[in-house]
Amino acid sequence: MTETPKNTKKLYVKTYGCQMNVYDSERMVEALGGQGYEETKTPDDADMILLNTCHIREKAAEKVYSELGRFKGLKAANPDLKIGVAGCVAQAEGEEIIRRQPMVDLVVGPQSYHRLPAMEQAVGEGRKALDTEFPDDDKFDTLRKRAKTKRGPTAFLTVQEGCDKFCAFCVVPYTRGAEVSRPADRIIREAQELVEAGVKEITLLGQNVNAYHGHDGGLAGLIWALDKVDGLERIRFTTSHPNDMDDALIEAHGTCDKLMPYLHLPVQSGSNSILKAMNRKHTRDEYFRLIERIRAARPDLLLSGDFIVGFPGETEADFEDTMDLIREVHYGQAYSFKYSTRPGTPAAEKPQLPDDVMDDRLQRLQTLLRDQQRATQDAMVGRTVKVLFEKAGREAGQMIGKSEYLHAVFAPCEDVAVGDLREVEVTTSATNSLGGRLV
């Protein structure tokens, strides 16, 4: 007797924020796959809408409520439509989301999404579902194997979650919890599954990824273990804290061929007084010395960073210290933001700087960073880079991929397929990309 297949239901997931949320969204789709859901790219025909939220930026919660408001018509037209909120705003707001938006059926925090199947079932039985606990059971152990579907050539892989640093501006310790590292054997198994599905480059993720301790050798030990995975061509990791860049990890940048010459190492400010107020637990001089050691190990490394301007108490002299640090270090890429209060963090209680002051400083800082990024890209012209091609370009015969330095590279490649790793001579430099030709 042939079993009747389940009716396929459609799941729409919208992801906000960091790469870890991208990874989490993939796992949520897999978790609900056992309930008969397949992912759709539009909410219009979905049986469930899931917003995977981020709480880092200003007014993050209000943006989620605004987004939910757009789905009222869909809910009215289809009362069986299930709507859920996941991620860090879900963790921070909890029951308040359901109170303010009664059409929301389930709210799940970033540590509990492995329980989505049971929560979906509860909603199907007419109950609201809320889970923002930090459970004892391991969500990754519950989810276990990745679905064996064909993947693109790059993938994210979460290895560490949470943070114990308690920077004065940051909500991560409150929304993601204390630092937890996944066992190395499970990460290696998942990496092997990703490679079997077509992945050639893996980016290891963590709120404080270089604090990883699931391997005896820390993050460097995990990288060397992954170096042995056949078919895995490239390894990256993000995001790092300067205080956790140990000797072994610095050495790995110089000796592990699969570890790409790109490092995102946020400093946030170049002022010692602001670094202290931020509770960063390092000084500008310590950061300078660390950069010197990293570049001694890997001279061609491209450095990326994060900067916050207008932190409470920041003077013009403090800001100029940040500008001086940027000039001294020289960043190939960077992300910069005006300080925005996060309720519940120490800095939220301090007097805030005027918006016009923050706007002016951000504009000056971003101009400097853009000039450095463009200079870095212009210096690539004439060099040969290795490009992992990820998709076809807009023009016929053109392909787009990433160099080892994480630059987007366009090249005419009629005989190249997605997933190919080829040498390309860089011939042109644009604002956010490079152009080249196959060698």
pLDDT in tens, 28-70: 998 898 889 999 999 999 999 999 988 766 677 788 889 899 9
Q: Is the pLDDT of residue 341 over 80?
A: yes
Position 139 scores a pLDDT of 64
Check residues 234 and 135 and name the one with the higher pLDDT. Answer: 234
How far is the C-alpha of 253 from the C-alpha of 303, rounded, in Å?
12
- Quickly tell me which residue has 């359901």 as its tokens: 98
* Average pLDDT score over residue span 102-106: 94
In angstroms, how far apart are the furthest CA atoms of the chain? 79
Which domain-ending residue is among 131, 161, 187?
Answer: 131
pLDDT tens for residues 407-417?
Answer: 999 999 888 99
Asked whether residue 151 falls in the same domain as residue 119, the answer is no
178 and 132 Cβ atoms separated by less than 8 Å: no
Annotated binding site: 18, 54, 88, 163, 167, 170
- Three-state secondary structure call for residue 364: helix
For residue 120, give the nearest of 155, 147, 82 by alpha carbon: 82
Which domain-ending residue is among 260, 279, 299?
Answer: 260
* Average pLDDT score over residue span 243-262: 98
Residue 336 falls inside a structural domain: no
Per-residue confidence band for 1, with pLDDT thresholds at 50, 70 and 90: very low
123 and 103 Cβ atoms separated by less than 8 Å: no
Which domain-ending residue is among 71, 99, 131?
Answer: 131
Per-residue confidence band for 5, with pLDDT thresholds at 50, 70 and 90: very low
Annotated binding site for [4Fe-4S] cluster: 18, 54, 88, 163, 167, 170
What domain range includes position 196? 145-260
Asked whether residue 52 falls in the same domain as residue 103, the answer is yes
Q: Which of 51-60, 131-140, 205-214, 374-383 has the lowest mean pLDDT?
A: 131-140
Residue 379 falls inside a structural domain: no
Q: Is the pLDDT of residue 356 over 90?
A: yes
Q: Is the pLDDT of residue 4 over 80?
A: no
How far is the C-alpha of 404 from the C-alpha of 185, rounded, in Å?
26
Helix residue ranges, H only, 2-156: 19-33, 60-69, 72-77, 88-93, 95-100, 116-124, 139-143
Asked whether residue 70 falls in the same domain as residue 100, the answer is yes
Q: Is the pLDDT of residue 331 over 80?
A: yes
Instruction: At 109, list the tokens.
Output: 């925090």
Asked whether residue 80 falls in the same domain as residue 43, the answer is yes
Residue 270 falls inside a structural domain: no
Residue 304 falls inside a structural domain: no
Count Cα neighbours of 19 within 13 Å in the Cβ-side half-sphere.
19
Q: Cα–Cα distances in Å, from 367 out to 57, 279, 322?
A: 21, 27, 13
Asked whether residue 121 falls in the same domain as residue 152, the answer is no
Residue 272 falls inside a structural domain: no
pTM of the predicted structure, to 2 decimals: 0.84
* Average pLDDT score over residue span 306-331: 98
Check residues 93 and 295 and name the one with the higher pLDDT. Answer: 295
Asked whether residue 213 falls in the same domain as residue 150, the answer is yes
For residue 173, give the nearest of 187, 186, 163, 185 by alpha carbon: 163
| Mean of the per-residue pLDDT values of the chain | 92
Residue 173 falls inside a structural domain: yes
Strand partners, 409: 401, 434
Question: Could you give the number of structural domains in the chain?
Answer: 3
